[in-house]
């Protein structure tokens, strides 16, 4: 539930200008998450959210913007704890995750900057990866398996 909630928080702050914990809590409640202020505060700390100045002169929560930084242990932990299966067909890899966790797992994959991945699409519990050539699929699935161990 925590990973689903935190994933929803990242989605909310990406799509809306959220300036207070109360606003964030209200938006989460509208999405079906029953949260307290203490939970929101913990999530903000764990996600390392910061307040940045908008063009209108107000502040809003944003996720850390520098994705070129090394992957955190937290992302790898999310990846390990949420992936249920990795399969492939042709030049595609399909990754099944726990419900609500595909976006967080896809963020890990994108942050690791694996070679040969042309793009990724994440739904609620499924990630589709398009690989540049079918001959590179096996090596990538082996890398994912190693990351899971």
Beta strands in 6-63 (DSSP E): 50-53, 59-62
Please give the Cα distance from 125 to 12 (Å, whole number). 18
Residue 90 structure tokens: 């042709």
Residue 66 has a pLDDT of: 43
How far is CA 50 from each of CA 8, 70, 71, 134, rounded to the nearest angstrom?
16, 19, 18, 40
Predicted confidence at residue 128, as pLDDT, reads 97
The predicted pLDDT at position 65 comes to 62
Below-70 pLDDT ranges, the chain: 65-74
Which of 35, 11, 12 lies closest to 22, judged by CA? Answer: 35
């Amino acid at each position: 539930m925590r990973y689903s909630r935190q994933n929803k928080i990242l989605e909310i702050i990406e799509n809306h200008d959220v300036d207070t914990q109360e606003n964030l809590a209200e938006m989460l409640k509208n999405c079906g998450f029953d949260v307290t202020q203490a939970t929101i505060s913990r999530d903000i700390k764990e996600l390392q959210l910061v307040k940045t100045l908008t063009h209108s002169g107000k502040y809003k929560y944003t996720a850390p913007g520098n994705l070129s930084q090394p992957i955190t242990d937290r992302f790898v932990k999310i990846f390990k704890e949420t992936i249920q299966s990795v399969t492939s067909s042709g030049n595609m890899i399909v990754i099944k995750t726990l419900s609500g966790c595909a976006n967080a797992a896809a963020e890990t994959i994108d942050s690791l900057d694996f070679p040969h991945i042309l793009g990724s699409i994440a739904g609620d519990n499924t990630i589709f990866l398009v690989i540049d050539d079918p001959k590179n699929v096996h090596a990538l699935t082996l890398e994912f398996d190693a990351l899971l161990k």
